[in-house]
């Protein structure tokens, strides 16, 4: 802008011309920054937030909303449905309400609380999965003196992230979706709440049959209730035979297709190693062991992000491998570790493969990780 001003005019710092151009230049710079931001929001590869929602909607995709966790709870007396409870001894205000009437089913593991019911977290998202233990009633309930929050019935999921929605969008635009092809099953099932990944096996039991193996958003096997829910959406059974999926097109599956929804089984992983701690490090073997468990579980999650990815575009095969050298690297990179020796994965020093076929689909789960301190 200064270069366009004739040289015989005063445009030195502090001059009226330079000062006024500086103000205008600052405003124009902001305009270009905004234009660059707007341009990025126009493409699925770079859009974020609501703008990514708009782009995904063009492919009939919607961001998965946050869902409320449902948990089992035990009581010494049966409270009425709708009773509200708060989690004790935490800083956050997390509330649940009794959403399913209690049944009298004593359990020796929980003496004094023979009534079991289902409670739903009032706050949507994964926060409802996090806490277990004693509950307190928000309002006084006569005779109710003990309430315990227990196992998860349905996981609460946070609102779908931009990265997850973008990945589904790229899958949708990268494959032609037509009634009954692999892309249609994959994209539809991935759009359902509580679904993290899916493997699709066409003609798994002859023509007109499809097997879809599904895991949840935490990359764990589906609960039985969740499998039934997805089965009824994709290919519900005839009322006369509730055990057999119908080929009459009552769900999203086209007429003529029998679709079975299943889930993966867990393959346990046991890891042992001898750890030499760095000289001068204040870290204990127990602290290093805790870090190793956390990092190994994170690595398993990273592996499972591609659990539903086919080997090639026209080949419905899937592969999952835990590489031995990767395990060694993770252990050696933990803070305070000098070297990890005698590393064994399931008592072996080789890569661990997982079965991924129409008969059996596996996912890794860390059963144990035990580190001992060497000299």
User: Is residue 164 in a domain?
Assistant: no
Count up the domains in the chain and report the number. 4
Cβ pair 95, 122 in contact under 8 A? yes
Does residue 133 sit in the same domain as residue 108? yes
pTM to 2 decimal places? 0.72
Does residue 244 sit in the same domain as residue 342? no
- What 3-state class would DSSP assign to 85? strand
Contacts of 304 (CB under 8 A, 6+ apart): 196, 197, 215, 219, 320, 363, 364
The candidate with the shortest Cα–Cα distance to 116, out of 134, 100, 92, is: 100
Does residue 233 sit in the same domain as residue 271? no
Does residue 254 sit in the same domain as residue 275? no
Does residue 224 sit in the same domain as residue 131? no
User: Is residue 159 in a domain?
Assistant: no
Does residue 282 sit in the same domain as residue 241? no
Does residue 281 sit in the same domain as residue 226? no
Task: Summarize the chain as % helix, strand, coil (round to 5).
Answer: 25, 30, 40
Please, is 74 exposed, middle or buried when counting C-beta atoms within 10 Å of its C-beta (0-12, 13-18, 19+)? buried
Q: Tell me the C-alpha distance between 374 and 216, whole Å.
A: 39
The distance from CA 320 to its chain's CA centroid, rounded to whole angstroms, is 18
Does residue 211 sit in the same domain as residue 130? no
User: Is residue 336 in a domain?
Assistant: yes
pLDDT of residue 314: 61
User: Is residue 65 in a domain?
Assistant: no
Q: Tell me the C-alpha distance between 217 and 222, whole Å.
A: 9
- Token pair for residue 164? 């997850």
User: Is residue 224 in a domain?
Assistant: yes
Cβ pair 152, 69 in contact under 8 A? yes
Does residue 18 sit in the same domain as residue 96? no
Asked which of 85, 119, 154 is the last residue of a domain, the reply is 154
User: Is residue 167 in a domain?
Assistant: no
Instruction: For the chain of 375 residues, list the mean pLDDT of each consecutive stretch of 10.
Output: 90 91 93 95 94 92 93 95 86 89 93 95 92 90 93 92 91 75 91 93 93 94 93 91 88 94 96 94 94 96 91 78 96 94 96 95 96 89
pLDDT of residue 275: 94
Contacts of 71 (CB under 8 A, 6+ apart): 96, 118, 119, 120, 121, 128, 149, 150, 151, 152, 153
179-182, Cβ contacts within 8 angstroms, sequence gap of 24 or more: 179/254, 180/210, 180/253, 180/254, 180/257, 182/310, 182/316
Pairing state between β 362-373 and 265-277: parallel
The candidate with the shortest Cα–Cα distance to 97, out of 126, 129, 119, is: 119
Asked which of 122, 154, 186 is the last residue of a domain, the reply is 154
Domain span including residue 195:
175-263
pLDDT of residue 16: 92
pLDDT of residue 342: 95
Q: Tell me the C-alpha distance between 374 and 65, whole Å.
A: 49
Asked which of 95, 123, 154 is the last residue of a domain, the reply is 154
Does residue 293 sit in the same domain as residue 358? yes
- Token pair for residue 73? 């709870």
Pairing state between β 209-216 and 258-263: parallel
Does residue 249 sit in the same domain as residue 280? no
User: Is residue 313 in a domain?
Assistant: yes
Number of Cβ atoms within 10 Å of the Cβ of 139: 8
Strand partners, 37: none
User: Is residue 91 in a domain?
Assistant: yes
The candidate with the shortest Cα–Cα distance to 120, out of 105, 135, 104, is: 135
Does residue 180 sit in the same domain as residue 244? yes
The candidate with the shortest Cα–Cα distance to 95, out of 110, 65, 73, 115, is: 73
- Token pair for residue 22? 């500086």
């Amino acid at each position: 802008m200064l270069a366009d001003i004739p040289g015989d005019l005063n445009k030195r710092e502090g001059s009226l011309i330079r000062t006024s151009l500086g103000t205008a230049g600052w405003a124009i710079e902001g305009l270009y920054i905004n234009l660059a931001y707007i341009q990025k929001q126009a493409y699925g590869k770079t859009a974020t937030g609501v703008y990514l929602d708009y782009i995904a909607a063009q492919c009939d995709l919607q961001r998965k909303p946050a869902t409320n966790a449902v948990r089992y709870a035990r009581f010494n007396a049966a409270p009425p449905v709708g009773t509200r409870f708060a989690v004790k001894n935490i800083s956050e205000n997390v509330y649940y309400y009794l959403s399913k009437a209690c049944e009298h089913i004593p359990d020796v593991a929980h003496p004094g609380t023979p009534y079991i019911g289902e409670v739903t977290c009032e706050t949507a998202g994964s926060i409802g999965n996090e806490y277990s233990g004693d509950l307190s009633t928000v309002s006084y309930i006569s005779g109710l003196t003990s309430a315990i929050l227990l196992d998860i019935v349905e996981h609460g999921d946070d609102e779908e992230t931009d990265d997850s929605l973008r990945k589904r969008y790229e899958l949708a635009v990268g494959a032609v979706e037509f009634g009954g092809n692999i892309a249609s099953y994959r994209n539809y099932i991935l759009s359902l709440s509580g679904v993290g990944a899916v493997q699709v096996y066409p003609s798994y039991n002859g023509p007109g049959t499809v097997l879809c193996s599904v895991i949840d958003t935490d990359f764990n096997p589906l609960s039985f209730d969740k499998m039934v829910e997805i089965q009824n959406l994709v290919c519900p059974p005839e009322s006369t035979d509730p055990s057999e999926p119908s080929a009459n097109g009552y769900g999203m599956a086209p007429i003529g297709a029998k679709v079975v929804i299943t889930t993966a089984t867990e393959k346990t992983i046991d890891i042992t190693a001898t750890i030499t701690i760095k000289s001068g490090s204040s870290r204990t073997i127990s602290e290093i062991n805790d870090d190793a468990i956390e990092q190994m579980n994170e690595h398993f999650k990273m592996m499972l992000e591609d659990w539903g990815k086919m080997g090639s575009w026209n080949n419905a095969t899937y592969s999952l491998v835990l590489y031995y050298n990767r395990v060694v690297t993770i252990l050696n990179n933990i803070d305070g570790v000098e070297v990890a020796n005698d590393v064994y994965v399931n008592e072996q020093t080789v890569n661990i493969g997982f079965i991924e076929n129409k008969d059996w689909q596996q996912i890794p789960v860390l059963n144990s990780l035990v580190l001992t301190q060497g000299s």
